[in-house]
Amino acid sequence: MSDQKRAFITGLGGQDGSYLAEYLHSLGYKVYGLVRYSTTRGTSDNLKYLPDDIEIIEGDLTDQMAINRIIRTVKPHEVYNLAAQSHVGKSFEYPQFTADVTAMGVIHLLEAIKEAPFHSKFYQASTSELFGNAEESPQEESTPFHPRSPYAVSKLFAHQMVRVYRESYNMFACSGILFNHESPRRGDNFVTQKVCKAAVNIALGNQDSLELGNLDARRDWGHAKDYVRGMHAILQHHVPDDYVLATGKSYSIRDLLDAAFSHPRVKLNPDDYVRVNPKFFRPAEVHTLRGDASKAANALGWKPRITFEQMIHEMIDAQFAKQELK
């Protein structure tokens, strides 16, 4: 094979996977990406943004033999595991499926890398949901974990296994504990996109109201473009380690509504349209998350560049563009 660096990304069709593929491609990588058998360039909106020479591989993280075969064929210098059943609410409905993909999938990748006759660096997408209702704020790498959903528990298993493989087998295996990050490529089932889509539909007269759950829940929201830069930086450091990536600022769902409805093309009062519906409350709610990314700033030189308001307004612009194409 050539001297060109090769990267293998799972979850290529997701928000993070597509942005990371674009970013690595711009840096000169040969990029390979895993998608589920049901996902192709024609069925996933995010894949349409990718350069044609990014190689799409069909497969599934739950298939150990397939993962072994892919790793040995691609011989990646870097592996980024971004695949997961990543919706917190859905994880309560499908706990076993969530564990099969989000927890056990990591074992399959780590085993494939460990047994391969070459060295691959490994990045695991951990999550701020590990912290749950943390007793300290902001949360950083040493903050105790308190997961409060099947998704978070599955991610904690994966996070700890990365550490175990790193310490037991001297593998270059790292986790990025990423706080919430959004973009126009975010799925419609996530609250930021749900709010942005509704704000546009209400402004255009296509929707009368918006139903949400806990409006006081607070999250540390950044832009996915900033976070994929951080993923790459983590694997370029000379020592494998785990890092929190976050903005250090916390916003409530009410703040999200204000940002979306204040967009110049919307300019409406969200209180006139938003209804609280108890069915959208989670069985175990995480109330406040805010991260401290000082370690990543000091060791990697990473800092977010895009503000919360810029991100939400970009998402609103994208929703208007979608409506205009209809």
For residues 207 and 88, membership in a common domain is answered with no
Q: How many distinct structural domains can be found in the chain?
A: 2
Query: Is-contact 98 150, C-beta < 8 A?
Result: yes
User: 204, exposed or middle or buried, with CB in 10 Å at 0-12, 13-18, 19+?
Assistant: middle
For residues 122 and 94, membership in a common domain is answered with yes
One-letter amino acid at 47 equals L
Q: How far is CA 201 from CA 171, 191, 266, 273, in A?
A: 49, 15, 9, 11
Tell me the β-bridge partners of 210.
Answer: 274
The catalytically annotated residue of 19, 80, 151, 227 is 151
Peptide bond into 138 cis (omega under 30): yes
Query: Is-contact 111 161, C-beta < 8 A?
Result: no
The catalytically annotated residue of 22, 32, 39, 129 is 129
For residues 74 and 203, membership in a common domain is answered with no
Looking at the domain assignment, is residue 294 inside a domain?
Answer: no
For residue range 99-115, list pLDDT tens digits in order. 989 999 999 999 999 99
pLDDT above 70: percentage of residues in the chain: 95
For residue range 42-70, list pLDDT tens digits in order. 446 899 999 999 999 999 999 999 999 99
What pLDDT sits at residue 39?
54
127 has catalytic annotation: yes
Predicted model pTM: 0.93
For residues 21 and 152, membership in a common domain is answered with yes
For residues 105 and 235, membership in a common domain is answered with yes
What pLDDT sits at residue 304?
97
135 has catalytic annotation: no
Q: What is the span of the domain harbouring residue 273? A: 185-219+250-284+307-325
Looking at the domain assignment, is residue 292 inside a domain?
Answer: no
Residue 205 exposure: Cα atoms within 13 Å on the Cβ side: 0
The catalytically annotated residue of 10, 102, 127, 247 is 127
151 has catalytic annotation: yes
For residues 160 and 258, membership in a common domain is answered with no
